[in-house]
Structure 1
Amino acid sequence: MSPDTSTATQPQAHADTHSVSHWAGVFALSFGAFALVASEFMPVSLLTPMAQDLQVSEGLVGQGIAISGLFAVLTSLLISTVAGRLNRRTLLIGLAVLMGASGALIALAPGYLPFMVGRAFIGVVIGGFWSMSAATAIRLVPAPRVPRALAIVNGGNALATVLAAPLGSYLGSLIGWRGAFFCLVPVSVICVVWLWFSLPSLAAPSATSPTAATGPTSDAGFSSPAPKVRSIFAIFTAFRQPAVAWGMAACGAFFMGQFILFTYVRPFLETVTGADVTSVSLVLLVLGVSGFAGTALIGRFLGAGLYRTLMVIPAVMALIAAALIPFGAVFAAVVVLLGLWGLLGTSAPVGWWSWVAQAMPHNAEQGGGLMVAVVQTCIALGSTLGGVLFDSLGFESTFLASAVVLLLAAFLAWQTKRVTAQRVTERSTTLH
């Protein structure tokens, strides 16, 4: 999952108080987000031809998303400690280079193992980039301009959500899946050059920097002054708060349920719906465009309706997953159902990042880092479980499992609301 950090990081955490704006650097980060999300989810639109060429099952190719999620989690937890005092400009450029290397390795992979190594590389980039992107963006512009800068960075994510899957499917039909992945190499080169010329020097934050003074977190949400070993695990202390623990469980269940199904949309469309390559690209485009619309609209339903939204979205998506089983062979019904799925599924992360800012107002960056780890872990688990079920029992079991986990997510969101309300009541009683 690629996170929307616009609400996870507040302008008050601005690291460098200055009047100089580096908007070219902000747009370079946005382009990097676009390239990264496109790289992350490219296998979803190319699952079938990749499986045939690599001579493995579609479920095993789907594990490429699981392995990238695993390495994203490890990187998000370790990068601040491992990178140490390395200049963040150098680190981001290095990650962009690794993104290009991943695309090349996958495109040229002679077998399944090199493919998985390439996916592991992209997982490292995912964890590193998203752990530092917001903290970097707020250092590039004056504090009043931070919300705009974060919106621009996340615009790359939103654009890739719309274009990546259908474009990957279309390119795959023209130049093959290897050619589609190789197209990511020049995109990565552009990203490297853009970052090189647009980013100023970004020294690693120190314990005495303004960032450190505003809270106990650094780039990736770790405790800056703490010893290295302790800093790796400090991010998990938020689980001591019941509301945070329940909320993270609800968020994780949502992403797991979503990716049990979403990872295997293409083989479902081809084998059950009977869609050809052009039709598959069209459905994926509908899914992406509806998701973009949902992201633009969901803000109207947050605020006082935050928890209601977080409960309703997975519940409705569970119904969609179940409905796709009997209506899977009806193309028009599948288009409508997956369009609604995209509308809800793509917009939901905005609600969860709003919850992070509300649940951890004084440690929003730490909450954001923890969210990255939870989301990527659950994406990996979801795609793995979906692949096992898809290969062994068929798409019906995969979609039913998605529905069950999404219903669990709705229940956990309700439990989060209940625990949060109870905590507010206890605080009010204590004050009086």
Structure 2
Amino acid sequence: MSEAEGGARHPSPALTAPPTPINERALLFTLAGIQFTYIVDFMVMMPLGPQFTRLFGITDAQFGLLVSSYTFSAGISGLLGSTFVDRFERKRLLLWLYVAFALATLACGLAPTYALLMMARIAAGLFGGVMGTLVQTMVGDVVPFERRGRAMGIVMAAFSLSTIAGVPASLWLADRLGWNAPFVAIAAASLVIAAVGVRTLPRLAGHLQEAGTFSPWRPIADVLRDRNHWHAFGFTALIMSASFTVIPFLTIYMTSNMGLQPAQVPLVYLAGGLATFFSARLFGVLSDRWGKVQTFRFVAAVAMVTMLVATHMGDVPLWALLSVTTLFFVFVSGRMVPGMALVTAAAAPALRGTFMSLNGSVQSAAMGVASLVGGLLIGRDSLGRVTGYDWCGWVAVALSVLSIWAVGRLKVSSAAPGAGRPAAA
């Protein structure tokens, strides 16, 4: 079996033959920049976990709630966004949301208490949730399915860059200027990238011509009545929950149980990010060459091994710790490249924005629930060492096994050539 390109039942000229040329490279790098700030804003919370628990006098479970508040609010915004995201031109909506996200992130940096920080994180999640799905939607609108693995590899390389530069730089700022400084810097960078996006992002309105004039609830109903969309939602929930049962507490576990010094934490993200900067694009090429389902299954299988090792290791030399965490970053994040290329192909262009908003809600909810579950599974012994983290690893592996099965049930949009065929085999 082979992969087929998704498309609308009646493709819009704005999507299949744009009236003005689109600089695909500039588009992808701008979207990668937006993803970079969004991911750094989310990721920087996790290595700052030991500081937050100490400065605000909170427990590990309360820190897990702080992480979850962002993802839950992003999930709610995705649900709300699904009622209007396909009613607006993509570029304008994305930039307005991005500016609002920057201001909410600035509020995080100015928050003086745990409660106010929680409120600011909720606001950032509300705007970031729809924004993140719009980035993936625009890739799906512009880049043909047969090249979408490479395109997703470029956009997903933002994760790598965030771990190479964003998180270490944020930790450096936090060490010298206080924990507030990274959020202020992220807000400033977001406003600069938004200004660049005004020039580099194309106007995408073909979905408006396809959507016509009808109730905003109709696209949601159209999305929810398609069984393939439900398969995509389930697949997304599995891969995200597998990751976030483990990731939010990795830094706390490394500093408590694996002998990592706080000053060495940036090395973990630098090494992991440098490796994934190259591996994300490699997985994108392999996805287009081998097939996205086959590539996902291979990467997910190796990721399970790294999950188990990372959650069971004790006090080890720095080189061994960095080897494990680097492989963990490479393969756990690498699943997202073929995975999201498949998910974006599950809906026709006219419904893609609504579908991706709902999928973003599922993604955020899965991350939030997984973070809460992970926080409940772990505890502390009399010496302050983390206990129960090995159970987080086993839960992540079980969810990963289910995702390897679930990916085979995904199909490209039924409007595509070869309708009804699996995405790959």
TM-score range, shorter chain: 0.7 to 0.9
- The residue that corresponds to 1:402 in the other structure is 393
In structure 2, the CA distance between the partners of 1:406 and 1:204, relative to structure 1 (3 Å rule), is same
- 1:300, 1:138 → 2: CA distance? 17
Q: After TM superposition, give the deviation of residue 419 of structure 1 in Å.
A: 9.1
Q: Does 1:345 pair with 2:332?
A: yes
After superposition, residues 85-124 of structure 1 pair within 5 angstroms as 88-124=90-126
After superposition, residues 18-33 of structure 1 pair within 5 angstroms as 18-21=19-22, 27-33=29-35
After superposition, residues 13-412 of structure 1 pair within 5 angstroms as 14-15=14-15, 17-21=18-22, 27-79=29-81, 81-82=83-84, 88-136=90-138, 153-196=155-198, 205-206=207-208, 209=209, 212=210, 225-238=213-226, 240-241=227-228, 245-246=230-231, 248-299=233-284, 301-302=286-287, 306-331=292-317, 332-356=319-343, 365=352, 368-391=356-379, 395-412=386-403
**Aligned-residue RMSD, C-alpha:** 3.9
Output the TM-score relative to the length of structure 2.
0.78
Which structure has the higher relative contact order (CA within 8 Å, separation 6+)? 2
Q: After TM superposition, give the deviation of residue 279 of structure 1 in Å.
A: 1.5
Cα shift readout 1:135-182 (whole Å, capped 9, x = no counterpart)? 556889999999998776555454224333322222222222111222
Checking the alignment, whether the CA contact within 8 Å between 2:170 and 2:182 is kept in structure 1 is: yes
Checking the alignment, whether the CA contact within 8 Å between 1:318 and 1:403 is kept in structure 2 is: no
- 1:36, 1:8 → 2: CA distance? 29
Greater Cα shift, 339-348 or 99-108: 99-108
In structure 2, the CA distance between the partners of 1:326 and 1:58, relative to structure 1 (3 Å rule), is closer
Corresponding pairs, count:
399
- 1:203, 1:307 → 2: CA distance? 31
Aligned residue type for 1:389: L
Q: After TM superposition, give the deviation of residue 21 of structure 1 in Å.
A: 4.1
Checking the alignment, whether the CA contact within 8 Å between 2:307 and 2:396 is kept in structure 1 is: no
- 1:311, 1:150 → 2: CA distance? 17
Q: Any unmatched runs of 5+ in structure 1?
A: 1-6, 213-222, 421-426
Cα shift readout 1:348-385 (whole Å, capped 9, x = no counterpart)? 01121233356557888365444323222211111121
What SS is found at the alignment partner of 1:324?
helix
Aligned residue type for 2:371: S
Cα shift readout 1:5-48 (whole Å, capped 9, x = no counterpart)? xx998797653721344676665443222211211221012111
Aligned residue type for 1:323: V
- 1:126, 1:175 → 2: CA distance? 25
- 1:186, 1:399 → 2: CA distance? 39
- The residue that corresponds to 2:416 in the other structure is none
Which residue among 397, 410, 413 is the counterpart of 2:404? 413
In structure 2, the CA distance between the partners of 1:148 and 1:294, relative to structure 1 (3 Å rule), is closer
Checking the alignment, whether the CA contact within 8 Å between 1:294 and 1:343 is kept in structure 2 is: yes
What SS is found at the alignment partner of 1:43?
coil
Checking the alignment, whether the CA contact within 8 Å between 1:253 and 1:406 is kept in structure 2 is: no
Greater Cα shift, 375-384 or 359-368: 359-368
Checking the alignment, whether the CA contact within 8 Å between 1:86 and 1:204 is kept in structure 2 is: no
Aligned residue type for 1:121: A
Cα shift readout 1:224-265 (whole Å, capped 9, x = no counterpart)? 654223434443333x24xx5455434422211211111112
- 2:342, 2:335 → 1: CA distance? 11
Checking the alignment, whether the CA contact within 8 Å between 1:171 and 1:177 is kept in structure 2 is: yes
In structure 2, the CA distance between the partners of 1:151 and 1:326, relative to structure 1 (3 Å rule), is closer
In structure 2, the CA distance between the partners of 1:130 and 1:412, relative to structure 1 (3 Å rule), is closer
Cα shift readout 1:361-410 (whole Å, capped 9, x = no counterpart)? 78883654443232222111111211222346874423422322322331
Q: Identify, as 1 or 2, the structure richer in helix.
A: 1
Greater Cα shift, 351-360 or 329-338: 351-360
- 1:147, 1:339 → 2: CA distance? 22
- The residue that corresponds to 2:415 in the other structure is none
In structure 2, the CA distance between the partners of 1:259 and 1:161, relative to structure 1 (3 Å rule), is same
- 2:310, 2:221 → 1: CA distance? 41
Checking the alignment, whether the CA contact within 8 Å between 1:51 and 1:58 is kept in structure 2 is: yes
Checking the alignment, whether the CA contact within 8 Å between 1:322 and 1:400 is kept in structure 2 is: no
Checking the alignment, whether the CA contact within 8 Å between 2:259 and 2:316 is kept in structure 1 is: no
Output the TM-score relative to the length of structure 1.
0.77
Cα shift readout 1:54-78 (whole Å, capped 9, x = no counterpart)? 2212332232332222222222232
Checking the alignment, whether the CA contact within 8 Å between 1:357 and 1:364 is kept in structure 2 is: no
